[in-house]
Amino acid sequence: MKKFAVAATLAAALMCSAAPQAAELEVTHWWTSGGESAAVAEFARLFDATGNKWVDSALAGSGTGANPVIISRILGGNPMGATQMNTGRDAEELIKAGLITDLTPIAEEDGWADFFADPKLLDACTFDGKIYCVPINIHSWHWLWLSDKAYKDAGLETPKDWNEYVASFPALREKGIIPFGLAAGWPLNGIPGVLLADVGGPELYLKVNQDHDAEAVRSPEFRKVAEAWAAVRDVVDPAEVVPQFSDVANQLIAGEAAGNIHGDWIQGEFALAGAVPGTDYECLPGLGLSNRIEGGGDAFYFPKLPEGTAQDVLDAQTALARLLVSPEAQVAFNLKKGSMPIRTDIDMSSANDCMKKAIDILKGPDGLLPGGETLNSSDTQQQLDDLNQEFFADKSYPIDDYIEAYAQIIESAD
């Protein structure tokens, strides 16, 4: 029996290597941390099994560093076979310039609209009624991660929502535990958006980001958001900021830090450390205050390859587009990545508790809140990031000035 299995594997391997359409496809992405590269390796494994070759080209610098590199490569006439890229206005400009392959025929043939968990996911990829990218997962920033060990060491009850968490700051400090673990650089930029949607509520979030209503920013509801943001600012000691978000994950597992707001991909790091939700860490979607969270996903784009590219390479592009949304690849990838799959018709019994909480929210009647990067242009987003960075670094920056500066950016947003 065992001999037969070996023979069958060999035969399969031979067949694969003899397959005529074996083509190399360069794939760029910025998944470089431990949990992330384990997840993307699943795609590569499945793609190689089709007889094609996944040429992995991981770029350093996460979204803010790698996305511009990818865009300039496409603009500069040196496109890769497939690439991870942020959806939003920048991608739209590339589509307008005719540099991205239209995937509508594949999507219609395979019936993507039928099996996607939330049709809004495809909205981010749709431009002028045509589909230009493949959403592969759903990520959300709206998670409060709490360390059970830190609270046990401090002799406190693990909080059930954001307000209890903020109230526990002074007690944690007294015990020598870092109340809010923070990594340097971009992890900071995600936090204000979470506070806006969860402390301020979905309505305020939409008024500010979708309607660009500056009066909503000057309202008392927004002041609460600004105060929550100031609470994070005041509790973080700049000398305690660690270099990477994976370091924050380690701090939480070790009980050195009590909590953190970060995207669900931090779970990949928890999983690498062998931590289990419910015993080692707690996860509160929507900070325990809101049950409608903002979700956006990672997406893959297929740039138009130059004239004269061999047909087998173009076929490999199509094959990869189909593979990314297949049930098999979705399970393998998302379990490693810590994100939610884009389809709910697959077996997620091996998903952990946090994932199950997330899927419940996903199945809710209102669906996901649209992501800030799809509502605001990256220009507006950059201005908000600049403001938030400045406010966060300067503990004497008055809340009133912050609100007024925020309102002015929203007023001029397009």
Partner 1 sequence: MTEAQSLHGATALERTRPPGLLYNLFVRNISAKLAASPMVAIVLVVFIGCTLWTIWFSFTDSRALPNGAFVGFDQYERLFATRRWRISATNLLTYGIFSLVFTMVVGFVLAVLMDQRIRFEDGFRTIFLYPFALSGIVTGLVWQWIMNPTLGLQSTMRGLGWTNFTFDWITNTDMVLYALLIAGLWHGTGFVMVLMLAGLRSVDGEIWKAARVDGIPTWRTYLQIVLPMMRGVIVTTLVIVGSGIVRTYDLVVALTNGGPGLSSEVPAKYVINYMFSAGNLGQALSASTVMLLTVFVLLIPWVIVEFGPKKHT
- The residues of the shown chain that bind partner 1, judged by CB under 8 A, are 64, 67-68, 71-72, 75, 89-90, 93-94, 96-97, 184-185, 238-242, 377-379, 381-383, 386, 389-394, 405
Rounded to a whole number of angstroms, the minimum distance from the CB of residue 393 to partner 1 is 2
Min dist. Cβ of residue 87 to partner 1 (A): 13
DSSP string, 367-392: -PBPPHHHHS-HHHHHHHHHHHHHHH
Q: How far is the CB of 68 from partner 1 (least distance, A)?
A: 4
Closer of 290 and 374 to partner 1 (Cβ): 374
**Residue 245 contacts residue 188 (beta carbons within 8 Å):** no
State the minimum distance, in angstroms, from the CB of residue 377 to partner 1: 7
Q: Please, which residue, 16 or 241, has the CB nearer to partner 1?
A: 241
CB nearer partner 1, residue 209 or residue 334: 209
| Token representation of residue 404 | 């007024």
Report the residue number, 12 or 97, with the smaller CB distance to partner 1.
97
CB of 317 to partner 1, least distance (A): 23
* Residue at 396: amino acid letter: S
> Quick one: 96 or 356, whose CB is closer to partner 1?
96
Measured distance CA(177)–CA(197) in Å, rounded: 28
Compare residues 90 and 213 and give the one whose CB is closer to partner 1. Answer: 90
Non-local CB neighbours of 291 within 8 Å, separated by 6+ positions:
285, 361, 364
Q: In this complex, which beta carbon is closest to partner 1, that of residue 198 or of residue 298?
A: 298
Report in angstroms how near the CB of residue 238 gets to partner 1 at its nearest.
4
CB of 250 to partner 1, least distance (A): 14
**Which amino acid is located at 342 in the chain?**
I
Nearest 5°: CA angle at 220, between 215 and 224? 120
* 261 half-sphere exposure, CB direction, 13 A CA radius: 28
Q: Are strands 178-180 and 257-261 parallel, antiparallel or unpaired?
A: parallel
Token couple for 353: 């508790």
Dihedral angle sign, alpha carbons of residues 402, 403, 404, 405: positive
CA 44 remoteness from chain centre: 20
Specify the 3-state DSSP secondary structure of 164. Answer: helix
Least distance CB 396 / partner 1 (angstroms): 10
Of 354 and 375, which has the nearer Cβ to partner 1? 375
Side-chain-side CA neighbours of residue 162 (13 Å):
26
* Dist CA 183 CA 269 (whole Å): 14
